Amino acid sequence: MRPGFIIGDGAPRLGRRFHLQPRIPFGVFKERTAAAVVSSSRQIDFKDRTDMRAKTAVVLGAQWGDEGKGKIVDVLSERFNAVARYAGGHNAGHTVIIGGQKFVLQLIPCGVLRPGCRGIIGNGVVLDPIAFLKEVAKLRALGVGVDEQLFVSNRAQVILPYHRMIELAAESAPGRKKIGTTSRGIGPAYEDKMARSGLRIVDLLRPELLKTHIEAACGEKNAIAHALFGTDPLDPAQMYDEYAAAAEQVRPFVRDTGRLLNQILREGGSVMFEGAQGTMLDIDHGTYPFVTSSSATAGGAATGTGVGPTAIGTVISVTKAYVTRVGEGPFPTEIHDAVGDHLRARGMEYGAVTGRPRRCGWLDIPLLRYSNQVNGAEWLVVTKLDVLDELEEIPICVGYEIAGKVTDEIPADVQGLEAIKTVYTRMKGWRSSTEGITEFDKLPQEARDYLRFQERESGAKIGMVSTGPDRDQTMLLPEFAAALASLHA
């Protein structure tokens, strides 16, 4: 490891470690950095940079999504001025329970559930205006301050009906291998973005441009869908009328959110970046092609919001005490017997968006270690510990056997993942309730051993443990609590 420095006074902080080349004296590095960083109105000194670094965090899923990120973002959001969603669309489902009341958020960041916390939908998100307005209306009816707290990037891409048409037709086509998408148009919208033929929110707000775009796109998409799948054509005039009306309702929420986020940080505020889906669904680092169409890993937080990578303070990775996956794709530790059904029932493992039953499996240490490596995760949050309460013995995958050789390396291809034979160690269960426990020392000894093993083997330090679905059924470990307190120091 190269020589490194942590800027600070020695107290636990959320700031990232960064490395300097030994040949550059630290004082010279400081002077060069201070001279190079300039805002639009003033020069930012080196202290500003380290303060900014310490007041941001990325919260993301360690595996295939559904790890309980929504609850964790909600719990942590009281310590942040803004929560910014940076990828995905309304295919994500975050469930938050507050005082017994259930909120299911698909597109809107969980931060809006905290009065005074701004929720920001970043440029890396694909937004269906109709779905967005329906979600806004539901939250507004529940008394959530969406009109004051919610902002949408003018650079975010727009999902239109032909995206859903093409995705649904492709998933249903005879002989085509199913990916297991939600058929909500997410993938085709990202395809248009990368082909530079998409529509952005800023364009949605220009009626003439919107009309021209819809007419041209429908001509192309209708022809493709009919030729390949026999799909009936969409009416561009009807589509324009619907989306032109929706645009006027979306307009009050639209901002240059990259500028807004950077302004919050320059003024000493704090920002949490909220991931969607999970690391193993990332378009580059996941179990390709059974992945989503966006960058779900920590790197996506910078490209998906317009905040530079040096402003990312730390990465908090969320994992269940076991593992789940919804839809198709390889899953090395999947349980195929009654124990899997038991975990699904106790954990209420059904998709928040689709209602699909989730596949359940044992904790996979090589997978978690890989995820932490890709994301640079410093902190680990473990959810649904209480789901394991009734088990007498708990297997944990500690390695893979592939072609007769034991390894902890994650194969890049589906064939390699499907060839894995999992290597397990087994830990004693605690056979007593952990639900609602909020102090680590009050957990059964076996539960503490299980968590410490997970921490030791994964390479990230456990900062929080969730022992139930409600906001209050959460424990913060002292070192993590102290690091969070540094946000306001």
pTM of the predicted protein model? 0.85
CA distance 372 to 455: 11
pLDDT digits over 268-319, tens only? 999 999 998 999 999 999 999 999 999 999 999 999 999 999 999 999 999 9
Strand partners, 273: 58, 84
What's the pLDDT at 100?
73
**Residue 352's pLDDT band (cuts 50, 70, 90):** low
Which among 48-57, 342-351, 430-439 has the top mean pLDDT? 430-439
What tokens does 215 get?
């007419």
Percentage of the chain with pLDDT > 90?
Answer: 69
b/e for 149-165, b at 16 or more Cβ within 10 A?
Answer: bbbbbbbbbbbbbbbbb
Residues annotated as part of the active site: 66, 94
Report the amino acid identity of residue 396: I
**Residue 103's pLDDT band (cuts 50, 70, 90):** confident
Asked whether 83 and 296 are in contact (CB, 8 A), the reply is no
**What is the pLDDT averaged over residues 176-198?**
84
What's the pLDDT at 315?
96
Asked whether 318 and 68 are in contact (CB, 8 A), the reply is yes
**Residue 54's pLDDT band (cuts 50, 70, 90):** low
What's the pLDDT at 178?
64
CA distance 480 to 345: 31
H helical segments located in 181-304: 186-194, 201-204, 207-229, 236-250, 257-266, 300-303
| More confident of the two residues 301 and 28 | 301
Mean of all residue pLDDT scores within the chain: 87
